[in-house]
A and B are shown apart, each in its own frame.
Chain A
Amino acid sequence: MRPSFRQAEYPVLLAPAGSPAAAVAALEAGADAIYVGLKGWSRGGAKGELTAGELREVVAASHAEGRQVRVAINTIPRGVERRRLVQSVADLIGWAVDGVIVNDPGILAELRARYPTLPIAASIGCSAMNEADVAFYRDLGAESVVLPGTLSPEELRAAAETPGVLIEAMIHMVEEFIVLGKCWMPSFFRLNPIPLADLGVEGNRLIGSMKRGGAGVCFKVCERPWDLYLSGRRVVQRLLPSRQLSRINELSDILDAGVGVIKLQGRSLSPRLLGPLVRRYRMAIDAWRDGRACLAFDEASLDPSWTVSRR
Chain B
Amino acid sequence: MTSHLELNTTISNLRDLHASDLSPYDAIYLGNITCRLYEANLLERVDDLREAIATVKGQGLKAYVSTYAAPRNDFLPKLRKALAAAVEAGADAVEVHNLGVLKIIDEAYPRLPVHIGGFANVYTDAGAEVLKRFGAVRITPNYELSLDEINQIQRQVALPMELLVHGKMPLGISDYCFLLEYEEAWGVKCPDLCQQDLFLKQGDWAMKSIGKGILSGKDVCMLEHLPRLIADGHTCFRIEAVSESPAYRLEVGQVYREAIGHACASVGGSDGRWREALNAHARVGLCNGFYFGRSGMEYLGVESEATTSGMSRPGADSAHTLHIRQKEQFDD
Q: Which residues of A contact B (CB under 8 A)?
A: 76-79, 82, 104-107, 109-110, 126-137, 139-140, 150-151, 154-155, 158, 177-179, 181-185, 187-191, 193, 206, 208-209, 211-212, 221, 224-235, 238, 240-241, 305-311
Known contacts A132-B103, A133-B100, A206-B144, then 16 further A-B pairs from the complex at CB < 8 Å, ordered by chain A residue: A78-B149, A106-B129, A179-B173, A188-B216, A191-B293, A208-B295, A221-B205, A227-B202, A228-B200, A229-B201, A233-B331, A234-B330, A234-B331, A240-B200, A308-B180, A311-B37
- In contact, B174 and A128 (Cβ under 8 angstroms): no
Q: Check A226 against B126 for contact (C-beta < 8 Å).
A: no
Shortest CB distance A180–B (Å):
10
Contact of B88 with A by CB under 8 A: no
B200:A226 contact, CB within 8 angstroms: yes
Known A133-B100, A234-B332; contact A105-B295, beta-carbon cutoff 8 A: no
Contact of A79 with B293 at beta-carbon distance under 8 Å, contacts A185-B171, A233-B331 already known: no
Shortest CB distance A263–B (Å): 19
Looking at A129, A137, A224, the one whose CB has the most chain B CB atoms below 10 A away is A129
Which residues in B have their C-beta under 8 angstroms from that of A151?
72
Contact A307 B126 (CB under 8 A): no
> Given B186, B190, B295, which contacts A230 in the complex, CB threshold below 8 Å?
B186
Residues of A within 8 A of B209 (CB): 228
Q: Which residues of B contact A (CB under 8 A)?
A: 36-37, 69-76, 98-104, 119, 121, 123-131, 142-144, 149, 152, 169, 171-178, 180-182, 186, 190, 196-202, 205, 207, 209, 214, 216, 290, 293-297, 329-332
Cα of A136 to Cα of B127 in the assembled complex, Å: 13
Chain A residues with CB below 8 A from B144, complex form: 184, 187, 206, 209, 211-212
Whether B119 contacts A182 by the Cβ 8 Å rule is yes
The distance from the CB of B57 to the nearest CB of chain A, in whole angstroms, is 28
Interface-centre pick from A104, A151, A190, A208 (highest chain B CB count, 10 A): A104
Please, which residue of chain A has its CB at the minimum distance from the CB of B217? A188
**Once the chains bind, are B202 and A184 in contact (CB under 8 Å)?**
no
**A to B CB contacts below 8 Å, 8 in the list:** A129-B71, A129-B175, A136-B103, A140-B130, A182-B119, A187-B296, A188-B216, A227-B202
Known A129-B71, A182-B119, A187-B296; judge A107-B171 contact (CB<8 A).
Answer: no
CA distance A181 to B123 in the complex (A): 12
Chain B residues with CB under 8 A of A184: 142-144, 171-172, 296
- Residues in chain B near residue A126, CB distance under 8 A: 99
B202 (CB) vs chain A CBs: closest residue: A226
Question: Across the interface, which residues of A come within 8 angstroms of B123, CB to CB?
Answer: 76, 78, 104, 106, 211-212
A311 touches B332 (CB 8 A): no
Q: Which of these, A105, A136, A181, A311, contacts B74 with CB under 8 Å?
A: A311
> Are B100 and A136 closer than 8 Å at their CB atoms?
yes
